[in-house]
């Protein structure tokens, strides 16, 4: 069994990034200087992941205010309203307001991928997309479309993001955290699977669907297994008891298991219960991916770097406990 790791999503802003973004808002920094200073932070984040031996890395999405905002800014017929709590976190997002059928003004990911792919080498870069169901349900819909129609249109635009990055062979992750909610409806999961399959068509072998902040119900998880993405990412640390109750073998999918807590700064430990859940999810499979439970933009920057190193060590530890082979970038 092969065991390897990747960070789930975004990083927090360190001091340099915070000051640079502040100065840009104030108009007191040249565009060229701002680009250089932000590049330094992204390079640090990518470098720490590579040093930890992670073969797939994220650029950190350092300048993103939330997972929706970069897309809202680059789409027609959508704006932002007031702040709303992002699930049960001490973190808020600007509510997207759709006033018509959205369309792309400028894609979000192609430029970033072109900029960061060389920094990532020899690791592979991963792009992260907001799940169309999560985005549709967490927005204000004044577009005259049904929720399903809006989600379908969002999925179409996200598919364009994937198509425009094909030459770089990136990994593609679709985040649908709303499916972890205790009141999540089964038809949400069915729609999420259908739309994810459209988005990742042709790149299924390097695609991930990610559900986090809690472990989904068994019915939701069973529905999720209809996705054609090779990888299914689940947070098993936030609620181990619920994960133990609802976990099932992921069939032909590779489990991506959140074992490093991305929301808290305490030391991470792997209990026998967590190992048991990992074994149950992997079934008869021969590959396991370890990740952070969530994006790490909720904790201080230095702790996010520390958590990245912990994730690298977890790969060795869990591979040894499961009698597997740790796959690291530098081995």
DSSP string, 273-312: HHHHHHHHHHTT-SEEEEEESS-STTS-HHHHHHHHHHHH
Q: What is the pLDDT of residues 266-288, one digit of tens each?
A: 889 899 999 999 999 999 899 99
Question: By C-alpha distance, which of 119, 115, 158, 120 is closest to 136?
Answer: 158
Q: Does 111 score more than 80 pLDDT?
A: yes
The mean predicted confidence, pLDDT, of the chain is 94
Q: What is the pLDDT of residue 206?
A: 97
Q: What is the pLDDT of residue 35?
A: 82
Q: What is the pLDDT of residues 31-60, one digit of tens each?
A: 888 888 888 889 999 999 999 999 999 999
Q: What is the pLDDT of residues 170-183, one digit of tens each?
A: 999 999 999 999 99
**pLDDT band of 223, cuts 50, 70, 90:** very high
Q: What is the pLDDT of residue 331?
A: 67
Share of the chain above pLDDT 90, in %: 84
Q: What is the pLDDT of residue 73?
A: 94
Out of 89-98, 99-108, 228-237, which region has the weakest mean confidence (pLDDT)?
A: 89-98
Q: What is the pLDDT of residue 22?
A: 83
Could you tell me which residue, 65 or 128, shows the higher pLDDT?
Answer: 128
Predicted TM-score (pTM) above 0.75: yes
Q: Does 260 score more than 70 pLDDT?
A: yes
Pick the CATH number of 2-326 from 3.30.460.20, 3.20.20.210, 3.90.1150.10, 3.60.20.10: 3.20.20.210
Could you tell me which residue, 318 or 15, shows the higher pLDDT?
Answer: 318
Q: What is the pLDDT of residue 57?
A: 98
The beta-strand segments (E) located in the chain are 2-5, 56-57, 75-85, 92-104, 124-130, 140-141, 171-175, 207-211, 231-235, 254-260, 287-292, 325-326
Q: What is the pLDDT of residue 255?
A: 98
Quote the radius of gyration of the chain (alpha carbons, Å): 19
Q: Does 203 score more than 90 pLDDT?
A: yes
Question: By C-alpha distance, which of 201, 169, 173, 147 is closest to 58?
Answer: 173
**pLDDT band of 248, cuts 50, 70, 90:** very high
């Amino acid at each position: 069994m092969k065991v390897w790791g990747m960070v789930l999503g975004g990083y927090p802003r360190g001091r340099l990034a915070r000051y640079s973004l502040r100065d840009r808002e104030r108009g007191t920094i040249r565009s060229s200087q701002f680009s250089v200073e932000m590049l330094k932070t992204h390079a640090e984040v990518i470098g720490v992941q590579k040093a930890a031996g992670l073969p797939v890395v994220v650029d950190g999405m350092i300048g993103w205010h939330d997972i929706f905002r970069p897309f809202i800014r680059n789409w027609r017929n959508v704006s932002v309203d007031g702040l709303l709590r992002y699930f049960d976190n001490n973190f808020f997002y600007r509510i997207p307001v759709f006033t018509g059928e959205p369309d792309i003004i400028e894609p979000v990911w192609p430029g970033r991928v072109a900029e960061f792919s060389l920094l990532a080498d020899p690791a592979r870069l991963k792009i992260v997309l907001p799940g169309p169901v999560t985005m549709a349900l967490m927005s204000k819909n004044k577009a005259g479309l049904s929720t399903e129609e809006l989600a379908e249109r969002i999925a179409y635009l996200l598919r364009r993001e994937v198509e425009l990055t094909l030459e770089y062979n990136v990994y593609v992750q679709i985040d649908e955290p709303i499916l972890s909610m205790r009141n999540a409806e089964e038809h949400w999961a069915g729609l999420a699977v259908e739309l994810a399959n459209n988005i990742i068509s042709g790149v299924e072998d390097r695609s991930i669907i990610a559900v986090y902040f809690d472990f989904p119900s068994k019915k939701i998880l069973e529905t999720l297994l209809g996705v054609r993405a090779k990888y299914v990412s689940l947070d098993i640390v936030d609620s181990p008891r619920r994960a133990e109750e609802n976990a099932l073998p992921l069939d032909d999918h590779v489990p991506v298991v959140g074992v490093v807590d991305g929301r808290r700064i305490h030391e991470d430990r792997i209990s026998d219960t967590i190992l048991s859940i990992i074994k149950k999810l992997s079934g008869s499979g021969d590959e396991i991916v370890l990740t952070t439970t969530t994006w790490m933009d909720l904790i201080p920057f230095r702790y996010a770097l520390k958590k990245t190193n912990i994730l690298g060590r977890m790969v060795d530890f869990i591979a040894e406990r499961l009698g597997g082979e740790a796959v690291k970038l530098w081995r």
